Structure 1
Amino acid sequence: MTTGARVLIAPDSFKGTADAAAVARALGTGWAAVRPDDDLVLMPMADGGEGTLDAFALAVPGATRMPATVTGPDGRRAPASWLLLPDGTGVVELACTSGITLLETLRPLDAHTEGFGQAVAAALRHGVDRLYLALGGSSSTDGGVGALTALGGRFLDGDGRQVLPGGRGLADIVTADLSGLPPLPARGALILSDVTNPLLGPAGAAAVFGPQKGADAAEIVALDARLGRLAGLLGADPATPGAGAAGGTAFGLLAWGARLAPGAAAVGQALGLPAAVRGASVVITGEGRFDSQSAAGKVPSLLAGLAAEAGVRALLVAGAIEPGALTAHPGWFAAAVSLTDLAGGTAAAMADPLTWLETAGSRLAGDR
């Protein structure tokens, strides 16, 4: 590669250690230390989970954060925001309104998505004509009932009373009335998610994601049955790939009329990623762990595909690389660096990820 080449740096966040913007900056710093004349383009990415709002805010000129105070997943009031794009689109992220990081203690049966629905309602009141609904980082398994309730839905028990919030209340729903929901905005609502799990069963919301939210074996069985009860009351297909995202919130949003889209691809399209890849000489992407699931619509797989189409060299940086994950996709990346390998262990890599990301950037630039 010749001096002065354009390098596109488009990583996802390294969850739990560094957000996507910080990852991109650190990789860029490391690369520039070796190749200072290159033109670095930083485009932090997201797949619909935590950091999606930040990715849009950094990449879209004129994007405006709109403050909103919402009811957090544990019932406490929490400061949040949604993003207004210049074209009239509203971006609402579940992680910053009803996410697991907002909890002091995990609440597998009682955490809910009311705050997410409140932020969506705020965007609608503002007059957005399209919604991007970023799911990921969820704290709850409530099938989206909390969000739908905040939007005007009614979920009643046999005595006509509103059921308790969270997965616990799903057991008591007898009537689900969505007639009070507002109409979708003129250009629709797009659910951004990086998972393809259905709502129910061994690959469903409770079984796969419940343990991350503190659910034990008995609670997982109960939550799956309660989600099944909800599925019998709403007009969406629980088998839809992705319906299980965010504890079934995607299923609830489908019942409202929203559409599902692969999160990374939708975010990338909105940010102009395909054109950015075509204009680059090399692209660098990454995520916290590159493994067998990375092929299922994650940011690195998206970048690898776009780079291959454009004939551009693709490089990967990951906190850890699962054995065999790279060989399962030969040709995706011309080079790959693991922070765990650089640091000599997982603990060391996670203790100072930005330093090791700079080292990774320098290592890749030096290999040019």
Structure 2
Amino acid sequence: MKILIMPDSFKGSLSAKKAAKVLEKSFSQVFPSAAIDLLPVGDGGEGTLDALSQNIAMKEVWQTVSGWDGRPFSMRYMQFQDQAFFEMADLVGLPMFSKEQRRPLDILTIGLGELILQLQAGGIKKIYIGVGGSATVDGGIGLAAGLGYRFYDKEDQLLSPIGRNLAKIAKIDDTNVPELTAEIYAVTDVKNVLCGESGASVVFGPQKGLKSEEIAATDQALKQVYNLVDDGLVNIPGSGAGGGLAAGIVGFAKGKIVHGIDFVLDVLDFDQRAQDADFIIVGEGKMDQQSMAGKAPVGIAQRAPKKTTVLAICGSVDQQVLDFQAYGIAACFPIIGQPGSLNEALEKAEINLERTGVNVARLINNARSKCFD
């Protein structure tokens, strides 16, 4: 029997690699002779780079850029031949800020554009940017400023490239933008568009700290800016990822949007590795409506061979999500065993995951045994 273990990270508690190791321990106890293949994944959100680096020999490099507060910041990227991979979340990731510190309209992302230019100058031909897990809603104007764009208000005053100034932008100057010769890709973990009811401000703004009275105004400001850039971008699937960074990569850096989990599965040669798998075990911190929109567990399930059974083991499961089979997942098992606080759940994630993994493995073993009686 072959089991492919492919969790995403359990945010706030376990990395994808650690979760895969825990599940391997669980299933090995019940199936000691099974071929267990670990393939931790990411879907464009934070942790994607770490997941890729576990499976591909990439060189880790650190480069100094402008940080979220304008001060020098050491930003990492991974290099493979003439390709580079980095994550927005390494510069402005939501976990970097406490709830009291979250100010999505006041955080700078200039360093992302600076890093693109540095990589291009170093001979990199393809640049992949994971845009999930950010603490910002700036529509990509920070990255644009790092590339050399300048933003002005009606009085021709230079504006700081932060989300709070989106509504003030009346003119965009590209005089200082060099030729972009590298191919640039926004690797997105969601398919939300930039504006509207399923847009960056409305859907993701609150979790980043956007106040209720700021949501509609920010959504309108994003529309206003992209009327100046390219109004067609607001309806492109994935353009709302990263607080609108994905739209900015297309509009300001002539880049393209790629769906994160499909990109990762292609890089990891998933179709070949899953060809003879009997079971694929997927998982993430919380299975909810966003998961159903194509995040890692569902993306994997939809590409799995039809003969392979896909099971999900997650930190928790939203009560509104019930029809897992419609998305290719046979069953979903939450690991929380008893009522408690969020902190308790995070602290006990490894113990709970191992216990649940063993129980799922025993269920499989029992069912298989009865089938062959």
Give the superposition deviation at 1:331: 7.8
- 1:274 is matched with 271
- 1:128 is matched with 124
- 1:75 is matched with 70
CA change 1:284–1:46 in 2 (3 A) is same
The one-letter code matched in structure 1 to 2:290 is: Q
Q: 2:50 aligns with which of 48, 54, 61?
A: 54
Q: Unaligned 5+ residue runs, structure 2?
A: 366-373
The one-letter code matched in structure 1 to 2:321 is: A
User: SS at the partner of 1:118?
Assistant: helix
Checking the alignment, whether the CA contact within 8 Å between 2:151 and 2:158 is kept in structure 1 is yes
User: SS at the partner of 1:274?
Assistant: helix
Trace 1:148-297 onto structure 2 (pairs within 5 A). Answer: 148-178=144-174, 180-185=176-181, 188-235=183-230, 236-255=232-251, 256-297=253-294
Checking the alignment, whether the CA contact within 8 Å between 2:42 and 2:261 is kept in structure 1 is yes
CA change 1:328–1:355 in 2 (3 A) is closer
Checking the alignment, whether the CA contact within 8 Å between 2:190 and 2:290 is kept in structure 1 is no
Checking the alignment, whether the CA contact within 8 Å between 1:132 and 1:191 is kept in structure 2 is yes
Q: 1:96 aligns with which of 84, 90, 93?
A: 90
- Tell me the TM-score normalized by structure 1: 0.90
Give the superposition deviation at 1:182: 4.2
Distance in 2 (alpha carbons) for counterparts of 1:303 and 1:170: 37
What's the CA shift string for 1:99-133, capped at 9, x where partnerless? 22233511132113212222322322221111211
Checking the alignment, whether the CA contact within 8 Å between 1:108 and 1:215 is kept in structure 2 is yes
Q: Unaligned 5+ residue runs, structure 1?
A: none
The one-letter code matched in structure 2 to 1:121 is: L
- 1:138 is matched with 134
Checking the alignment, whether the CA contact within 8 Å between 1:82 and 1:119 is kept in structure 2 is no
What's the CA shift string for 1:148-176, capped at 9, x where partnerless? 11112222234444312311122322211
Give the superposition deviation at 1:209: 1.4
CA change 1:185–1:89 in 2 (3 A) is farther
Checking the alignment, whether the CA contact within 8 Å between 2:66 and 2:73 is kept in structure 1 is yes
- Tell me the TM-score normalized by structure 2: 0.89
User: SS at the partner of 1:237?
Assistant: helix
What's the CA shift string for 1:192-248, capped at 9, x where partnerless? 112222222222211111111212122222212221221111125212122111111
Distance in 2 (alpha carbons) for counterparts of 1:54 and 1:64: 12
User: SS at the partner of 1:190?
Assistant: strand
What's the CA shift string for 1:337-362, capped at 9, x where partnerless? 2112x355564432211111111222
Is 1:298 the counterpart of 2:295? The answer is yes
CA change 1:245–1:55 in 2 (3 A) is same
- 1:36 is matched with 32
Distance in 2 (alpha carbons) for counterparts of 1:229 and 1:333: 41
Is 1:323 the counterpart of 2:319? The answer is yes
Give the % identical residues: 33
Distance in 2 (alpha carbons) for counterparts of 1:98 and 1:185: 26
Distance in 1 (alpha carbons) for counterparts of 2:4 and 2:179: 39
**In terms of mean alpha carbon deviation, does 249-258 or 95-104 score higher?**
95-104
Checking the alignment, whether the CA contact within 8 Å between 1:308 and 1:332 is kept in structure 2 is no
Q: 2:60 aligns with which of 58, 62, 65?
A: 65
CA change 1:344–1:69 in 2 (3 A) is same
Distance in 2 (alpha carbons) for counterparts of 1:132 and 1:331: 27
Distance in 1 (alpha carbons) for counterparts of 2:129 and 2:339: 39
Give the superposition deviation at 1:134: 0.8
- 2:309 is matched with 313
